[in-house]
Amino acid sequence: MVSVNIDKDPHFRRIIVNEDKCTKCQLCIPSCPSAAFSDLNLFTYEADLCFGCSNCLEYCPYDALDFENWSASNPLELNRLFLLGASAFEIHLGSDLEALENFYLKLNLNSVKLESFSIGSEKMTDDELAESAIFIVNMTREQANFKDRLIIIQCDGIPQSGARLSNNSAKDLKSIHNADLVLKTLKKNNLLLPNIFVQIAGGIDDKSLAKAHALGVEIHGVAIGSWLRKKILELDMAEAKGLCKKIINQSKANAKKTETQKLKIASSSKNLAVQK
């Protein structure tokens, strides 16, 4: 999966350290869920480990930490990755749908099997969210071989809150709300097609899928990022590998089950159309 961004997004930022202000007090170290800060013999910061959660900012008393954002929205580079064998991508977008379309139409989708579009977070209103969902489905289904690809609409809630709000059991409600709105919008417009899937992200944990279903929101899956990253860091190597293998196998089983259900729905709709 290759991730790109159309607009500024919390997933495309990382901390920079102002060496002139930093006193090496190390107060940031325990706040970092990815161990980007370290005190092994010498205080260090490894930028490649930072995923932009912002935990550390409130722990720095010297204002020595700030964010830098970067853009990963070059369609030519993404096409090169497709040539090298990448078959899935994820686009994080804001409300600029024209920019999304301009980017998307430059992609060579011949070898692509899965497309994921991440929408929501605090930046978008409900109306913008609904408009984006409709736009994504209409845009993707106009492309050749659309039915051969899986399209995921990922409804973000509070970005990186799995790392920042660890004691808040309601942090996933925003993403569940967004998914509910998207599902209702697509159903209302007859756009919840057999290869369209809706999942949630942002503040998600191992209970979020069941919580959404209990609330009557029939999402197809969850994207557990920050929560899972923290869990893995608590384990030794053998336990971490075992957990990852278990999650992968369960994900495959869930995907197969969902695909079977979608095919049954599509078949039933076809039979109904023939009968009519």
Task: Check if CATH label 3.20.20.70 holds for domain 71-234.
Answer: yes
How confident is the model at residue 261, as a pLDDT?
Answer: 61
pTM comes to 0.79
Q: Are strands 221-223 and 196-201 parallel, antiparallel or unpaired?
A: parallel
Average pLDDT, the chain: 85
List, as one string, the DSSP characters of 77-119: HHHHHHHTT--EEEEE--S-HHHHHHHHTT---TT--EEEEEE
Tokens representing 233 are 């860091």
Task: Tell me the sheet residues that pair with 223.
Answer: 201
pLDDT digits (tens, 9 = 90+) for 8-34: 777 788 899 999 999 999 999 988 888
How confident is the model at residue 230, as a pLDDT?
Answer: 67
Exposure string for 100-130, b = 16+ CB within 10 A, e = fewer: beebbeebebeebeebbbbbbbebbeeeebb
How confident is the model at residue 120, as a pLDDT?
Answer: 80
How confident is the model at residue 223, as a pLDDT?
Answer: 85
Q: Which has the closest alpha carbon to 153: 192, 203, 207?
A: 192
How confident is the model at residue 270, as a pLDDT?
Answer: 54
The answer to whether the 9-69 and 71-234 domains have the same CATH topology is no
Q: Which fold has domain 9-69?
A: Alpha-Beta Plaits (3.30.70)
Length of the chain: 276
pLDDT, tens digit only, all 276 positions of the chain: 888 888 777 778 889 999 999 999 999 998 888 889 988 778 899 988 888 888 899 899 999 999 888 777 789 999 999 999 999 999 998 888 999 999 999 999 999 999 999 998 667 899 999 999 999 999 999 999 999 999 999 998 877 666 666 666 788 899 999 999 999 999 999 999 999 999 998 888 888 899 999 999 999 998 876 666 666 767 777 887 787 787 777 767 766 766 676 566 556 555 545 554
Domain boundaries, the chain: 9-69, 71-234, 235-276
CA distance 148 to 112: 9
How confident is the model at residue 17, as a pLDDT?
Answer: 94
